[in-house]
Structure 1
Amino acid sequence: MTEQEKKELQERVKSVIERVNNAAVQAGRDPSEITLVAATKMNDAERVQAAIEAGIRVCGENRVQELQEKYEQNAYDGADLQFIGTLQTNKVKYLIGKVSLIQSVGSVHLGEAIAKEAEKRGVCQDILLEVNIGREAAKSGLPPEELHDAIVKLSAKKSLHIRGLMAIPPVADEKTKNSNYFTEMRQVFIDILTKKYDNVDMDYLSMGMTNDFETAIACGANMVRVGTAIFGKRPYQIVSP
C-alpha cells in the first residue's frame, strides 16, 4: 500500500465508525452496544492490518481459503476474527479454533457439523443462526418459521452456543433501505428472546451492510458488517465506463 492509500483507508474507517456512532445516538442507543465488523473479503493482509491499525476491532471473512491464507500471514492480529460467509460442511474443520463466531449457520445440518468438529477439538463454538428473512430461493438461511425447531435441535449440542441471529435481506430498496425486513428481523429476535431457550443467548442481531447499516441500527441491529465503505470498491465491483 502507498502512504496515500493508507491515509484514505484510515479516513474511511474513521468515517464509518462515526456513522455507526451517530446512527446509534439517533436511535437512542449507546454506540458502545454496536459491533462493527469489517468485511475483509478480497483485501490482502497488508490492507487488513492497516484497517486494524486505523481502529477496526472485528474482522469478518467470507471465504475459508482466503481466511486460511491471511491467517497464516497474521493479517488479523490485533482484532477478533469471525466468519460471515457461506460455509460448506467439509470446510468447517478449517475454522474451529480460528474464529470466535460463525455468523452464517443457515441450516441444522451445518450446525450439527460445527458441533461435531467443535466436540472433537474440545471447544464450544459460538454461532449465529442465519435467517432467510426475504425467503429468497437462491439464498441460504432458515425461514423464520423453521427457527424454533432449529434452535431446539442445535441448543441441545453442548459444543455449540447460539449467540443470536444474522440476516442478509434482499437488495435494498433505495427509499426503505430494507427497513421492513430489518423490523421483521428485530421482531423475530425479540420472540426468541422471550422464549428463554436453554443454551441460547440473544446477544447479537447481525444485519446491515455498507448500503443500509444505519437503517439496520435504527431498526435494532447491534452488529453490522461493512466492507466497501471501509476498504473501497473491490475489483469485481468496479464497472468500466
Structure 2
Amino acid sequence: MTEQERNELHERIAQVKERVARAAEKAGKKPEDIILVAASKMNNAERVQEAIRAGIEVCGENRVQELLEKYEQNAYEGADLQFIGTLQTNKVKFLVGKVSLIQSVGSVHLGEAIAKEAAKHGIRQDILLEVNIGREQAKSGIDPDELLDAIDTLRAKPSLHIRGLMAIPPVADAETKNLRYFNEMRQVFVDILTKKYDNVDMDYLSMGMTNDFETAIACGANMVRIGTAIFGARPYQIVSP
C-alpha cells in the first residue's frame, strides 16, 4: 500500500466509527454497544492488517477460500474473525475452529452440518440464524414463519450456541433505507428474546451495511457489517465512464 492509501483507509475507518457512534447515541445506546464488523472481501492481507492497525477489531469474510488464504498469511492477527457469507455444507469443515462466529446459518441443514463438525473438534460453535426477512426466493435464509421450528431443532445441538439473528434485507432504497425490514427483524428478535429458550442467547442482531447501517442501528441492530465505507469500492462496484 502507498502512504496515501494507508491514510485514506485510516480516515475512512475513523469516519465510519464516528457515524456508528452518532447513530448509537441517537438510538440511546453507547458507541461501544455496537459491534463494527469490517467486511474485508476482496481486500488482501496487507489491507486487512492495516485496517486492524487503524482500529478495526472484528473482520468478517464472505468467501471460504479467500478467508483460508488470508488466514495463512496472518491477515486477521489482532482481530476477531467471523464468517458472514453464504456457506455450503461441504465447506463447513474449513471454518469450524477458525472463526468465532458464523453469522450466515440460513437453514437447519447447514446448522446441523456445523454442529456435527464442531462436535468432532470438541467445541461449541457460536452461530447466528440468518433470516430471509424480505422473503426473497433468490436469497438464502430461514423464512420468518419457519424460524421458531428451526430454533427448536438447532438449540438441541450441544455443539451449537445460537447467539442471535442476522439479516440481509432487499437492496435499500434511498428514502426508507430498509426501515420496514429492520423494524420487522427487531420484532422477531424481541419475540424470541422473551421466550427464553435454553441454549439460545439473543446477544446479537446483525443487520445493516454501508448504505443503511445507521437506520439499522436506529431499529435495534447491535452488529453492523460494513465493507465499502471502510475499504472503498471493490473492483466490481466501480463503473467505467
Please, what TM-score do these two structures have when normalized by structure 1? 1.00
Report what 2:144 is aligned to.
144
Secondary structure at 2:111's aligned position in 1? helix
C-alpha separation between the residues in 2 aligned to 1:178 and 1:114? Answer: 30
Secondary structure at 1:47's aligned position in 2? helix
C-alpha separation between the residues in 2 aligned to 1:7 and 1:25? Answer: 27
Report what 2:169 is aligned to.
169
Structure 1: gaps of 5 or more residues: none
Offset of residue 29 of structure 1: 1.0
Report what 1:108 is aligned to.
108
The alignment status of 1:219 with 2:216, answered yes or no, reads: no
Secondary structure at 2:137's aligned position in 1? coil
Within-5 A mapping of 1:143-222: 143-222=143-222
C-alpha separation between the residues in 2 aligned to 1:26 and 1:160? Answer: 34
Report what 2:67 is aligned to.
67
Secondary structure at 1:42's aligned position in 2? coil
Report what 1:84 is aligned to.
84
C-alpha separation between the residues in 1 aligned to 2:96 and 2:3? Answer: 35
Overall identity of the aligned pairs, in %: 81
Q: Give the total of aligned pairs.
A: 241
Matching residue's letter, 2:233: K
The alignment status of 1:130 with 2:146, answered yes or no, reads: no
C-alpha separation between the residues in 2 aligned to 1:26 and 1:117? Answer: 41
Matching residue's letter, 1:76: Y
Offset of residue 32 of structure 1: 1.1
Offset of residue 215 of structure 1: 0.4
Runs of 4+ more than 4 Å apart: none
Within-5 A mapping of 1:29-40: 29-40=29-40
Report what 2:25 is aligned to.
25
C-alpha separation between the residues in 2 aligned to 1:202 and 1:31? Answer: 19
C-alpha separation between the residues in 2 aligned to 1:145 and 1:195? Answer: 16
